[in-house]
Every structure is written in structure tokens, then in C-alpha cells.
């Protein structure tokens, strides 16, 4: 079994409060969950109103499928007009890793 994760550091557009941040981040996380076979959540920069760290993870039988899903996630987040993707970090692990 392969486990894949990706973490997006994003800069939010015209957001001036944590309430405004929620109105951008919650729909993004919900759309990731709806469109892709992943678990997703806001995982960092919780106290900053213009930055967010959003993570997603999934499992598959082979690494190639995971890479394809992670690539699709990154393209989807990068194409969102209301945010700027600052960086994306990812990792792949197998249950055989020690």
C-alpha cells in the first residue's frame, strides 16, 4: 500500500480577517474532498488571515496512481484565482518503509 500527501502554502487574495479567510479556505477544502479521492484539511497558519496551509492525503495500490492524484491536486489549487500558491510539498511512503 502506498500513502501520498501534499501540503499547499497559499496566500489569500483580498482577505482582511480570519472570518474572510474561512470564506476562502473552507470552500477550497470542501472542493478538494468532493473532486478528488483525498482527505483534506487546513493544517497550518491558523492564526494568520492572509496565509493558509492546506494538506491532503490519500492511499493507493501503486505509486504511479498517487503521483497522478497529487499532480491533479496541485494543478487544481494553482488554478484557483482567489489564492496564490506559494509552495507545494509532497511525500510518498509505502507500508514497507521502515
In contact, 70 and 4? CB cutoff 8 Å: yes
What confidence score (pLDDT) does residue 46 get? Answer: 86
pLDDT band, residue 98 (cuts 50/70/90) = low
Q: How far, in whole angstroms, is CA 54 from its chain's centroid?
A: 4
CA distance 86 to 78: 9
Report the share of the chain in percent with pLDDT over 70: 99
What confidence score (pLDDT) does residue 42 get? Answer: 95
Write the pLDDT tens digit of every residue in 63-77: 999 999 999 999 999
What confidence score (pLDDT) does residue 14 get? Answer: 85
Q: Could you tell me which of 5, 62, 76, 64 has the C-alpha nearest to residue 34?
A: 76
Amino acid at each position: 500500500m502506498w500513502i501520498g500527501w501534499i501540503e499547499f502554502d497559499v496566500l489569500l487574495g483580498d482577505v482582511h480577517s480570519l472570518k474572510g479567510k474561512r470564506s476562502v479556505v473552507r470552500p477550497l477544502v470542501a472542493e478538494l474532498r468532493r473532486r478528488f479521492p483525498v482527505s483534506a484539511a487546513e493544517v497550518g497558519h491558523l492564526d494568520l488571515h492572509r496565509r493558509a496551509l492546506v494538506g491532503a492525503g490519500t492511499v493507493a495500490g501503486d505509486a504511479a496512481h498517487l503521483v497522478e492524484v497529487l499532480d491533479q491536486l496541485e494543478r487544481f489549487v494553482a488554478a484557483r484565482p482567489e489564492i496564490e500558491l506559494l509552495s507545494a510539498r509532497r511525500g510518498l511512503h509505502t507500508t514497507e518503509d521502515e
